[in-house]
């Protein structure tokens, strides 16, 4: 990964390397920076699994190949985050939470993508959500 500041990061076999620092062992992908997690959306703690703080509450198709997913905080419905997922690659291209917005501008793949891979989402409830004041 190359950041906007020109810093180069790489991850190989669970070792995270920043070009000026010695390699550092981290859990992949949970210990990785947000930009790397965006390549592995399941690494985000936002899918409503167990004790996670967010859950997806709205999915919209945008353009020809992307999905906009809106996430809601379990304790504060006004606290939301969004992610744009590329339907062909399965990666998060844009993530917005509070005032932090991260956008992947260029992604190169070292191996061909599996064209048969289909993204699957569980049905989202369409019932009216009663206010909880």
State the pLDDT at residue 70: 94
pLDDT exceeds 70 at position 123: no
Of residues 106 and 95, which shows the higher confidence score? Answer: 95
**What average pLDDT does the segment 8-33 reach?**
72
Predicted pLDDT at 115:
57
What local confidence, expressed as pLDDT, does residue 114 receive? Answer: 62
pLDDT at res. 116: 60
pTM equals: 0.68
**pLDDT 10s digits, 99-111:** 889 888 877 766 6
Q: Which residue has the higher pLDDT, 126 or 81?
A: 81
H/E segment holding residue 36: helix 34-37
- Residues with Cβ within 8 Å of residue 1, at least 6 apart in sequence: 8, 9, 10, 33, 35, 36
Q: Which of 46, 41, 47 has its CA nearest to residue 104? A: 41
């Amino acid at each position: 990964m190359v950041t906007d500041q020109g810093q180069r990061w790489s991850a190989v076999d669970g070792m995270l390397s920043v070009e000026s620092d010695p390699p550092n062992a981290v859990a992949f992908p949970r210990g990785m920076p947000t930009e790397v997690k965006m390549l592995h959306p399941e690494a985000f703690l936002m899918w409503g699994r167990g004790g996670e703080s967010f859950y997806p509450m709205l999915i919209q198709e945008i353009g020809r190949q992307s999905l906009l997913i809106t996430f809601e905080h379990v304790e504060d419905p006004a606290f939301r985050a969004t992610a744009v997922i590329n339907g062909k690659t399965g990666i998060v291209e844009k993530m917005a939470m509070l005032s932090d917005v991260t956008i992947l501008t260029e992604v190169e793949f070292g191996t061909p993508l599996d064209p048969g891979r289909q993204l699957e989402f569980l049905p989202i409830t369409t019932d009216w959500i009663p206010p909880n004041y």
